[in-house]
A and B are shown apart, each in its own frame.
Chain A
Amino acid sequence: MSATILIAILLIIAAFAYQTGRQRAFAVAGNKRSVLHSLPVYHGSFMLVWVLLPAIAVLGIWTAIQSTVVDFLVLDQLGPAYADLSLSDRNITLAEIHNLASGDFNMDQAAPEIAAAAELHNHLSALGRWLSTAVVLGLAAAGFTLARRQIGTRFRARQQVERVVDVLMLACSVIAILTTIGIVLSLLFEALRFFVRVPFYEFLFGLQWSPQTALRADQVGSSGAFGAIPLFAGTLLISFIAMMVAVPIGLFAAIYMAEFADRRTRSIAKPVLEVLAGVPTVVYGFFAALTVAPVFRGWGDAVGLDVSSESALAAGMVMGIMIIPFVSSLSDDVINAVPQSLRDGAYGLGATKAETVTQIILPAALPGIVGAILLAVSRAIGETMIVVMAAGLAANLTANPLEAVTTVTVQITTLLVGDQEFDSAKTLSVFALGLVLFIVTLCLNVVALKIVQKYRERYE
């Protein structure tokens, strides 16, 4: 029985249980409904919760672990020839068994023990499905009878239901923490496997990055070098160019809109900035690679400069455009949060508007603006699509914005897209890079959010 049908049956039972609970509550109350502690609706919901929640929880866990358990059992049955396989051989064998078991591939050429294993796999999977159906439906039935017995005039159904809802909502909020823990653990775990192969200091301080490792031992060529400094330098260079574009434009735009612009100008400029913020990054990437980069190359040729067609300048410039609305809207918030009394005081002393802005408002808003810029830097460092499409792949250690550089996110993407083998240093290095990226952006975010929050409190 497929999971969809099972869930549908469960839902039908649940609806029936809800009705039963309500009817039962009406029945025990007789014609005096005021003797009921809780409204009939809550008795119905109480039954629904007991029918649905345990069954769904068991079904979820069962579905999550069934295939792993079946694979384990099947491999266990394969005999001594398959006893100590390496991880990749184990995966290949499993894939073979799965292909056979699904029946999409020809059975004739397989080794007999593999064919037997495939049969066992199908047998166990079918058994598991029937068992899970029986257990789940049994749980639903048990929940139904147990819950039905509870219903009575003095039964506090509302409190029971509300407690369940409380737990569910708490679970929803804990997802956020689980996500963070999941990110940290998955990155850390794989990164540690990488650091077993490549020493920690070599990764953080090495000057060579060429992750193509030899596939065979006798292969000529690269043995792989995992010094990430060129990537960090490239990321910083592109982010720096982006900030050189975004900070002045964003800040001046914010100042103008907050202090000088009339309503008409604001009603045009604000949506424009919002649209800039809403354009997907892949569109910016396309724009950078196909429009901006050739233009820069053309200008370079015109003045005799050699501009790479994947120059850091083009990627950084376009990234800067993407970040303008980010800087401007955050700065706008911060500037508007400066109390009017400070402005009035300055005007009262005869300061012009410009003097008020540069000598009163900006110093007062400075911490908030710094926070906004830090958040923007964090976004620039983590931005992926623009650099994947417009920056290069070669890990050059250079500060020349006209040359091609590569970034952390570009390497993560290019190393993971395509063939993956999870015990090569090349693939694992991705998680080490991800870990560094996560830690750096997390620190920037924490500091920036702290600054912004402190600043807000000061004027409240």
Chain B
Amino acid sequence: MTANIADTAYIRFVPTGVRHAVDRGPGSPSFTDGLKKRRAKERNLILAGQAAILIAVAMLMTLMVSIVSKGYSAFGQTELQLELYLEEGLIDPNGNRDPETILRANYQSIIRTSLRAIFPDVSGRTDRRLLNNIVSNAAQFELARMVVDNPDWIGTKRVISLPASDDIDQLMKGKIDASLPEDSRRVSDKEVAWIDTLREREQIGITFNTRLFTNADSRDPEVAGILGAVMGSLFALMICFMISFPLGVGAAIYLEEFAPKNKWTDIIEVNINNLAAVPSIIFGLLGLAVFLNTFGLPRSAPLVGGMVLALMTLPTIIIASRAALKSVPPSIREAALGLGASRHQVVWHHVLPLALPGMLTGTIIGMAQALGETAPLLMIGMVAFIADVPGSITDPATALPVQIYIWADSPERAFTERTSAAIMVLLTFLITMNAAAVWLRRKLERRW
């Protein structure tokens, strides 16, 4: 072969491998060598691609395994079965069953008496304090509420299960290694011995941790729960949906169906695309400066959180809704127009019902993003320690991801497993929402 193919003017580009092949001719040793090299290159590229995907999968696995392995134990909680004598003279000296009096009684001493009855030979102030610390600090309040709810218990002896303190809980779950030397672990030999006795008497055990789902935050990890944060997230998401869905759909319909193509609509469009990529923390600063400092709305309230999240999810919803409107074929519009419908009637009666499933899918995905968002909520003060479950959109509250952030920062070891458990709950919510979006798309979306 005399002419080089690459010299031919109308072929502007020839892969190097091909050039070699043409130069040397098929069948020659250099040709087969070149082919080997070219195939090796191909193999390397495929290997690199597979490695990249494997790394991504491995990362995801590591993340999930590390969270589940840290967090599964938080779904159990160590409980003590204590026989308590609810003496009437201590709890309700007046005998009129007034809930206020019952609530204020000294339950701590009742619990302590019961503990001392199990271990009568414990003496000395330090040892007694150590013994008392087996039971959670919050147990007395829990007991008080139980007695208020069941006034007929007063004057009886009952076996009641109360939460153990977080250190004992960690010991029972094997997170504190009892075989280490005493001064390098958080529980002393005496406590270990007491726990063994209680275990023999079957007065201590791990049960399902309902407090995690029915309590709000607490300083004591053994009774801290996520209900307050979940309610805060729920309120915020509700506000977010009520603002962003109508606004997003309205904007999408206007831009897609009615807006004239001019400079202004171009600006709006560029604006929306840019807003979608603005860091979330900037939205938090906006909320702080405008909603809190200018309009004087309450700090830490799900109302403001929802408003900030709504501004954040708006671009997502607008973009998804426009895509949904675009996918409705023009023939639908033309047919309606041909029958004499006005442009508004075309949109509201024919196009919108067909595009709605797509819009809802986009909205659910936007809501899922909003649910996982933390940074803007920190800016507007939804990061305080709040021990009550919020009852309305203006009560101070946190949100689930913020609760995760707060717990992750806490020094107590027992909070680490609770953080992981809260993450598992959050991920469950997110997976459910995304699955719902996928299901909705499969079920309702029409292909034309």
Contacts and interface: CB of A to CB of B under 8 A. Distances in A.
A and B: bona fide binding partners: yes
B39 A249 contact: no
A151 interface: no
A381 B279 contact: yes
Nearest to B268: A173
Given A282-B405, A283-B426, A358-B45, A176 B272 contact: yes
Nearest to B21: A350
A315 interface: no
A121 to B, nearest CB: 14
B274 interface: yes
B255 A173 contact: yes
Given A286-B419, A352-B39, A422-B293, A252 B51 contact: yes
A325 B52 CA distance: 11
A381 B277 CA distance: 11
A324 interface: yes
B363 to A, nearest CB: 14
A452 to B, nearest CB: 10
A289 interface: yes
Contacts of A349: 11, 14-15, 18
A409 B374 CA distance: 13
Interface in B52-89: 52-53, 55-57, 59-60, 62-63, 66-67, 70
Contacts of A406: none
A248 B405 contact: no
A255 B46 CA distance: 9
A437 B21 CA distance: 53
A389 B379 CA distance: 15
A282 B229 CA distance: 15
Taking each of A253, A356, A359, A381, which has the highest tally of chain B beta carbons within 10 Å of its own beta carbon?
Answer: A253
A283 B404 contact: yes
Contacts of B147: none
Contact of A176 (B59, B62, B259, B275): B275
Given A182-B286, A286-B423, A445-B277, A175 B18 contact: no
B17 A186 contact: no
A255 B45 contact: yes
A186 B287 CA distance: 9
Given A187-B285, A286-B423, A354-B41, A324 B375 contact: no
Nearest to A175: B247
A275 interface: yes
Given A250-B52, A321-B59, A385-B374, A355 B17 contact: yes
Interface of B is mostly: helix
A355 B40 CA distance: 11
B277 A438 contact: no
Contacts of A441: 277-279, 282
Nearest to A382: B279
A253 B46 CA distance: 10
Interface residues of B, number: 95
B251 A173 contact: yes
Interface stretch (A140-148, A158-166, A214-222, A391-399): A158-166
A287 B67 contact: yes
A272 B251 contact: no
Contacts of A177: 267-268, 271
A261 B70 CA distance: 35
A311 interface: no
Interface in A367-416: 375, 378-379, 381-385, 388-389, 409, 412-413, 416
B63 A287 contact: yes
Contacts of A356: 15
A187 B279 CA distance: 14
Given A169-B258, A253-B52, A269-B57, A352 B38 contact: yes
A contacts with B: majority SS: helix
A385 B375 contact: yes
B49 A252 contact: yes
Contact of B56 (A186, A260, A324, A416): A324
Contacts of B285: 183, 186-187, 412, 430-431, 434
B259 A173 contact: yes
Q: Which of A186, A353, A449 has the most CB of B within 10 A?
A: A186
B274 A445 contact: yes
Contacts of A328: 56
A291 interface: yes
A5 interface: no
Interface string A338-361: 000000001001111111111110
B251 A183 contact: no
B414 interface: no
B142 interface: no
A168 B280 CA distance: 27
15 contacts: A176-B272, A253-B56, A257-B49, A272-B57, A276-B56, A278-B368, A281-B372, A285-B405, A325-B56, A352-B42, A381-B279, A388-B375, A412-B379, A413-B378, A441-B278
Please provide the 8 A-B residue pairs with the shortest distance between their CB atoms, ordered closest to farther: A256-B49, A382-B279, A280-B372, A172-B250, A186-B289, A169-B254, A252-B52, A354-B42
Given A175-B314, A182-B290, A186-B286, 4 more contacts: A168-B250, A177-B268, A384-B280, A413-B375
Interface of A: 64, 67-68, 158, 162, 165-166, 168-177, 179-180, 182-183, 186-187, 189-190, 248-253, 255-257, 260-261, 265, 269, 272-273, 275-276, 278-287, 289-291, 321, 324-325, 328, 346, 349-360, 375, 378-379, 381-385, 388-389, 409, 412-413, 416-417, 422, 430-431, 434, 437-438, 441-442, 445-446, 449
